[in-house]
Amino acid sequence: MKTLGRAALAAVTITVACAGVDAKTVKPPLHGQNWVAVTGKPLAATAGAATFIKGGNAVDAACAMIAATSTMWDTLSWGGETQALIYNPHTGKVIGVNALGAAPTGATPEFFKSKGYEYPPEFGPLAAVTPGTPGGIMVMLAEYGKLSLAEVLAPAIEMADGYPIEAQAADLIERWKDELRKWPESRRTFLVHEGQGKRAAPEAGEIFRQPDLAATLRKLVATEAQALQAGKNRKDAIMAAYDRFYKGDIAREFARGSQEVGGLHTAEDLANWRVYLEEPVSTSYKGVEVYKLTHWVQGPVMLQTLNILEGFDLKSMGYNSARYIHTLYQAMNLAYADRDFYYGDSRFPPEEPIRGLLSKDYARARAKLISEDANNPDVRPGDPYPFQGGSNPFKATLDKWHTVKERADKPKPNQWSPTALAEFDRTFRLGTTSVEAADKEGWVVSVTPSGGWLPAVIAGKTGIGMSQRMQSFVLDAAENPFNVVAPGKRPRATLTPSLALKDGKPMLAFAVQGGDTQDQNLLQFFLNVVEFGMTVQEAAEAANITSYQMRDSFGAHESFPGRVTLTNSIPEWVRNDLTRKGYKLEFTQNNSGPITAIYVDRKHGSLWGAAAYHGEDYGIAW
């Protein structure tokens, strides 16, 4: 593509050519001295590389990759949400970026119940919060980048004009064509061969064009240019484009397009929304500081699990031994039960007890509940309030809460049928790509953008696919008093970028896609590095376990206690021991998750990049 210069092509060629023939991993680790860009698609990684070559820093490159993956519908689109952690080398601080959309006007429990919903729907305009990714990109770029919006969006605009669509996205469009037909602009954009034969979707390698999206992105660039010509500085010019998106003609057309197909969005919903720059939460694990976004996403669940596991000698148990797998599973059960009850939007009452949840004393108390002998199928949320000097205002609700809703003692009828499990698995892993970027100056960025995945409703003539994040709310405070839907409120999402620092300096940036599996994969990746001494590429590819005991954040919010997915390589004696402990075992060839990561090698003054072979994730380093 035009935006990729000769230097970027050389970077790609050198990176691939230098892969050692004796590599221990399926994919080679990336090594760079100046920068690393890793994300969910090869073309998007190329956009990040091209941005570095233009002189951008890691924030510029991350923004270019988010824009490119959104344009490629890589399990997200422009109407979704962007969450990020940024290490600023000039301040030595980690910044959290909250660009999660909010529920629109009229989104109340009473509204959804009147429509017959147990939860907000999975598909369609009533599933959509306000778009967050455009604002997230522009605020990150304005505050911490170096390049203009025009330079950073150039690859995405070129792709919106037309790019060769990959098989994964093309086949997903075909799979969801019946749903896409319901929405006029989605049908027009995606079903390019409608009426010409059996296949309605583009074919792999076909040039896929999105003229409405290209026009929207060009409006942002034009607004920036006008502001610069009027004498505004770089930051204010980018924010002028932000205002056009959220307060101008783009916002009005988005709201009109939403309402046209039955959505709730108003222009005021977009105008009142904003990006928040926040202080993340963290914990220490054996001398490593791990940072996560706070409880409006599931990120703290990994910190809670690390706190619980800190008292166990995991290394002596042996990697993926029966005892190790059991201990991880039980620790995750405890942390995820807390997630399912206590996490929600910090800007709406009641106030979440995050200090208690992340207390080391609370973790030690929770760890005492782990039995060595068997899985506990009904692990419940704990009471963190005494660990922050308070009393629990939801004690009566907590006492009635069970892992499996309605029937705590046994699964629902047919819950374990192949059809039910397949549908559960589809929603359990919904959403997200990941973006990692680091540079020689010391900027390190980890992002998990998501939302607006296929089959998305395109809002009017904006070319922007609407989010589906509303389904992560609950309608009944008995399930989670902190995450009940309300206009202007942000749902508790699964999105969870990660940064780890050692001695106050960046050590790891890591993220993964996959809904409720995210912090399971990331926990095990982190332990692979810190406990078992793996390189980032080895850790990204290593065998994981997957638990389904937590409540699904999507669909019907179900859970399957004791169910665990293992790789085929797990030996028979481990399988037998886990079965005796009450686990229901399933097996797959690869369950690492599509992890992306960067390791800052301070010993050698270089950067390592990693991308698991679970999906299409790809990296480029120089």
End-to-end Cα distance, the chain: 19
Q: Strands across the sheet with 35-39, in order?
A: 276-278, 93-99, 82-88, 444-447, 435-439, 35-39, 618-621
For residues 270 and 243, what is the distance between their CA atoms, to the nearest angstrom?
10
- The domain spans of the chain are 1-162+209-622
Q: DSSP secondary-structure letter at 458?
A: B
For residues 545 and 333, what is the distance between their CA atoms, to the nearest angstrom?
13
Check residue 3 and give its pLDDT.
Answer: 43
User: What confidence category does residue 240 fall into, taking pLDDT thresholds of 50, 70 and 90?
Assistant: very high
For tokens 């749903």, the residue is 179
Average pLDDT of the residues in 413-419: 71
Average pLDDT of the residues in 68-75: 94
Check residue 193 and give its pLDDT.
Answer: 97
pLDDT digits (tens, 9 = 90+) for 88-102: 999 999 999 999 999
Contact 78, 131 (CB under 8 A): yes
Element (H, E) at 58: helix 58-71
Check residue 431 and give its pLDDT.
Answer: 67
Q: List Cβ neighbours of 426 (8 Å cut-off, separation of 6 or more).
A: 555
Tokens of 279: 């202080």
Of 313, 275, 324, the C-alpha closest to 86 is 275
- Residue 78, pLDDT > 90, answer yes
Check residue 1 and give its pLDDT.
Answer: 44
Check residue 432 and give its pLDDT.
Answer: 74
Determine the residue type at 399.
Answer: D
- Residue 6, pLDDT > 50, answer no
Check residue 173 and give its pLDDT.
Answer: 96
For the chain, the average pLDDT equals 93
Check residue 19 and give its pLDDT.
Answer: 35
Contact 310, 363 (CB under 8 A): yes
Check residue 411 and give its pLDDT.
Answer: 55
Check residue 406 and give its pLDDT.
Answer: 66
Average pLDDT of the residues in 501-530: 96
- Residue 51, pLDDT > 50, answer yes
Average pLDDT of the residues in 297-304: 98
For residues 394 and 342, what is the distance between their CA atoms, to the nearest angstrom?
10
Specify which residues 600 forms β-bridges with.
Answer: 607
User: What confidence category does residue 422 fall into, taking pLDDT thresholds of 50, 70 and 90?
Assistant: confident
Three-state DSSP class for residue 600:
strand
Of 322, 264, 202, the C-alpha closest to 576 is 322
Of 463, 458, 436, 470, the C-alpha closest to 555 is 470
Percent of the residues in the chain that have a pLDDT greater than 70, as a whole number: 94
Distances (CA, A) of 268 to 100, 132, 197: 17, 15, 43
Task: At 368, give phi and psi (nearest 5°).
Answer: -65, -15
For tokens 């820093």, the residue is 57
For residues 397 and 385, what is the distance between their CA atoms, to the nearest angstrom?
14
* pTM score above 0.85: yes
Check residue 10 and give its pLDDT.
Answer: 37
| Phi-psi category of residue 160: left, alpha or beta, with phi > 0 → left and psi -120 to 50 → alpha | alpha
For residues 456 and 472, what is the distance between their CA atoms, to the nearest angstrom?
16
Burial status of residue 117 (CB atoms within 10 A of its CB: 0-12, 13-18, 19 or more) = middle
Determine the residue type at 208.
Answer: F
DSSP string, 301-312: HHHHHHHHHTTS
Distances (CA, A) of 93 to 90, 131, 285: 8, 28, 19
Q: DSSP secondary-structure letter at 297?
A: B
For residues 147 and 59, what is the distance between their CA atoms, to the nearest angstrom?
10
Contact 31, 607 (CB under 8 A): yes
pLDDT digits (tens, 9 = 90+) for 575-617: 999 999 999 999 999 888 899 999 999 999 999 999 999 888 9
User: What confidence category does residue 9 fall into, taking pLDDT thresholds of 50, 70 and 90?
Assistant: very low
Contact 25, 542 (CB under 8 A): no
Specify which residues 438 forms β-bridges with.
Answer: 36, 444
- Residue 421, pLDDT > 90, answer no
pLDDT digits (tens, 9 = 90+) for 435-491: 999 999 999 999 999 999 999 999 999 999 999 999 999 999 999 999 999 999 999
For residues 517 and 470, what is the distance between their CA atoms, to the nearest angstrom?
19
Contact 44, 82 (CB under 8 A): no
- Residue 368, pLDDT > 60, answer yes
Determine the residue type at 44.
Answer: A
pLDDT digits (tens, 9 = 90+) for 247-294: 999 999 999 999 999 999 999 999 999 999 999 999 999 999 999 999
For tokens 């990049």, the residue is 609
Element (H, E) at 336: helix 322-342
Average pLDDT of the residues in 395-422: 76
Of 209, 163, 213, the C-alpha closest to 464 is 213
Check residue 405 and give its pLDDT.
Answer: 83
Tokens of 594: 């599509």
User: For helices 133-144 and 234-247, what crossing angle results, to 10°?
Assistant: 170
Check residue 425 and give its pLDDT.
Answer: 76
Determine the residue type at 226.
Answer: Q
Check residue 2 and give its pLDDT.
Answer: 47
User: What confidence category does residue 419 fall into, taking pLDDT thresholds of 50, 70 and 90?
Assistant: confident
Lowest-pLDDT choice from 3-17, 45-59, 110-124, 376-390: 3-17
Helix extents (H) in 74-166 = 109-114, 133-144, 149-161
For residues 70 and 54, what is the distance between their CA atoms, to the nearest angstrom?
21
- Residue 418, pLDDT > 90, answer no
Q: Which residues of 146-182 are buried (b: 16+ CB within 10 A; e: fewer)?
A: bbbbbbbbbbbbbbbbebebbebbbbbbbebbeebee
Q: List Cβ neighbours of 535 (8 Å cut-off, separation of 6 or more).
A: 29, 529, 599, 608, 610
Tokens of 182: 């319901």
For residues 43 and 39, what is the distance between their CA atoms, to the nearest angstrom?
9
User: What confidence category does residue 412 fall into, taking pLDDT thresholds of 50, 70 and 90?
Assistant: low
